[in-house]
Amino acid sequence: MRGVFVTGTGTEVGKTVVAAAIARTLAADGESVAVFKPAVTGLNDLPPADGPKKGAGVDFSAHRPDHEILRTAAGSNQPDEEIAPYRYGPPASPHLAAAMADEEIDPRRLLAGARAAAARADAIVCEGVGGLLVPLVGDYLVRDLTADLGLPIVVAASPGLGTINHTLLTLEAARGAGLAVEYVVLTPWPAAPTAIEKSNRETIAALGKVRVETLPPLDLADPRSWPRLPASLRRD
């Protein structure tokens, strides 16, 4: 399987934006790109699909479900079920959201789904759920799925205070499980970063022994305007 698994230091740290930018970079190079997210939760919190996309200075595209944003960025025509096999309304951890729906997430279904999607494309870009140690079912964590898929990871993280600890913890958890780390992305990276933000970038690179990229604030409604993110994905 050729691709990347975008994880993050936690929830709401920019995983979707980073995964979308990588998918867009590959698609712009003429590659067919599949996207995948093991589970999407919190669908109840989103505005209805036929609601306004833009208005009153608010960009509603940021409030579309992750699988829709990923599909658009990749230029993919995959159905919802293929991108995100498990989709739930409550904004809960996937293991809990599944239990609330009287279901259990089946890792074999996730692995088969991701492999099938990857087989139909040149590359696959996966987005995790929360951070690496989020449970999918029982003691099977997002990190286990990442390892079973055999994909290298990209870590989305915030630029500001607290990010050194969160990012180094994530790198340690990843490497401890044998995951290959491609790079960290600090997002959204301001046009005029503060001394703290610049220092965070250097400290994460030095102490984490990792490449650190940055992503400026994007117009999420216009993928053509996005900068490229490295997508030199290894082949098995």
Ligand X SMILES: Nc1ncnc2c1ncn2[C@@H]1O[C@H](COP(=O)(O)OP(=O)(O)OP(=O)(O)O)[C@@H](O)[C@H]1O
Q: Residues with catalytic annotation? A: 37
Among 3, 4, 5, 16, the residue binding ligand X under the rule CB under 6 A is 16
CA distance 225 to 217: 11
Binding site for Mg ion (CB under 5 A): 15-16, 66
Among 4, 5, 8, 85, the residue binding ligand X under the rule CB under 6 A is 8
With respect to ligand X, which residue has the nearer C-beta, 191 or 195?
191
DSSP letter for 112, please. H
Q: Tell the smallest beta-carbon distance from residue 15 to Mg ion (Å).
A: 5
Residues 77-96 contacting ligand X, CB under 6 A: none
Count of residues interacting with ligand X (CB under 6 A)? 18
Are 37 and 94 spatial neighbours (Cβ–Cβ below 8 Å)?
no
Are 122 and 114 spatial neighbours (Cβ–Cβ below 8 Å)?
no
* DSSP code per residue over 50-92: TS-SEETTEEGGGGS-HHHHHHHHHT----HHHH-SEE-SSSS
CA distance 71 to 66: 9
> Across-strand partners of 135?
141
Q: Tell the smallest beta-carbon distance from residue 236 to ligand X (Å).
A: 27
Q: Which does 187 bind (CB under 5 to 8 A by kind): Mg ion, ligand X, none?
A: ligand X
- Letters for 154-183 (x = contact with ligand X by CB under 6 A, - = none) are --x---------------------------
Name the region of 162 (left: φ>0; alpha: ψ -120 to 50; beta: rest): left
Among 130, 135, 159, 208, the residue binding ligand X under the rule CB under 6 A is 130
Q: Is 12 in the site for ligand X (CB under 6 A)?
A: yes
Q: Which does 35 bind (CB under 5 to 8 A by kind): ligand X, Mg ion, none?
A: none
With respect to ligand X, which residue has the nearer C-beta, 27 or 218?
218
Residues 45-64 contacting ligand X, CB under 6 A: 62
- Cα torsion through 58, 12, 105, 43, rounded to 10: -20
CA distance 57 to 30: 33
Among 4, 13, 134, 153, the residue binding ligand X under the rule CB under 6 A is 13
Among 76, 163, 167, 187, the residue binding ligand X under the rule CB under 6 A is 187
**3 state DSSP class of 7:** strand
User: Contact positions toward ligand X, by CB under 6 A?
Assistant: 8, 11-17, 62, 66, 130, 156, 187-188, 215, 217-218, 220
